[in-house]
Amino acid sequence: MWNSSPTIVAGGNGIGQNQNQLSTMVLDIDIDQNQTLYIADSWNQRVLKWSTGSLHGVSLNVGVLTPKAIFLTSDSYMYVASFNEVYKWSIDTAMITEPIRVVVDDANYQDLFVDTSGSVYVSDAKNHRVIRWDRNWFLFGQVVAGGKNKGSALNQLNSPTAIYVDSGATVYIADEINNRIVKWQNGAKEGEIVLGGTTDLKANETLQNPTSLTMDRYGNLYVGDAYRIQKFKPRDKHGQLLFDGKRGSSQITQLLRPLGLRYDAYGNLYVADSRNAQILKFSCIQ
């Protein structure tokens, strides 16, 4: 359970380029075991490292002009995605370790996930697909979801955004324009609709352009759409509303286009409130 009143832990000082400010295109976040935030501040063309309790961030030279997605691994590496490439960056040495990249011409990467075996997954909104590069990488990628032009059939996606990969290599995808969450089993030819996908549903079963998702160790899905964060238990399409930013009248109670849902080691939930140029923290009170 979380405190329903979030706190601003980064940004929240107006839109700008100063080290205590963020743009309205904060596209992703991640957090390390010390509760240090890493923020993909895309319009400001930077990744910010923001220590817990700090009033400002520190820009990192990650070699990417327009960071769109970031992912931290347990062995202190950070993967950073831009439009059509992914860099691997060492947090300990503050150096790019593999300037190679996972590169696909004419792509538009939206999110990034690295599984425990080192395989790299990216969602490609322009080509309506998810691609995986295995650890020995990086010469050939494999389409693991979509790639059959845009559409709403079970073998298609339409502008996929956030992705999450579970321990069985099942990929969960925020299929934004189709207003649904789909999952693709490893090796499957088509996906399965997990949430949303139709307008004939109750409000807490309908998604509105989902842009972020994550999963906890119990298999609960957390989904951010236009102005909400909802929790869905396994095999339950009836969501629990955790936060409704549309009803807010102040900066701390508003939420618009939530991106980059993440947990820290203590169960606190973080979200990039992108259009309000701030990062919100929902403290775990359980």
pLDDT recorded at residue 5: 83
d(CA 283, CA 5): 9
pLDDT recorded at residue 262: 94
The encoded tokens of residue 90 equal 């060492």
pLDDT tens readout for residues 87-138: 888 888 766 665 455 666 688 999 999 999 989 999 999 999 999 988 765 6
pLDDT recorded at residue 251: 64
Alpha helices in 93-233 (DSSP H): none
pLDDT recorded at residue 286: 66
pLDDT recorded at residue 236: 84
Write down the pTM of the prediction.
0.92
Among residues 64, 52, 50, the alpha carbon closest in space to that of 22 is found at 50
pLDDT recorded at residue 12: 92
pLDDT recorded at residue 252: 63
- Please name each of the domains of the chain with its CATH number: 7-282 (2.120.10.30)
pLDDT recorded at residue 104: 67
**Residue stretches of the chain with pLDDT short of 50:** 99
User: Please, which contacts does 187-195 make with residues 24 or more away whose CB atoms are closer than 8 Å?
Assistant: 189/155, 190/153, 190/154, 190/155, 191/145, 191/146, 191/154, 191/155, 191/157, 192/154, 193/154, 194/221, 194/232, 194/237, 195/221, 195/223, 195/232, 195/237, 195/239
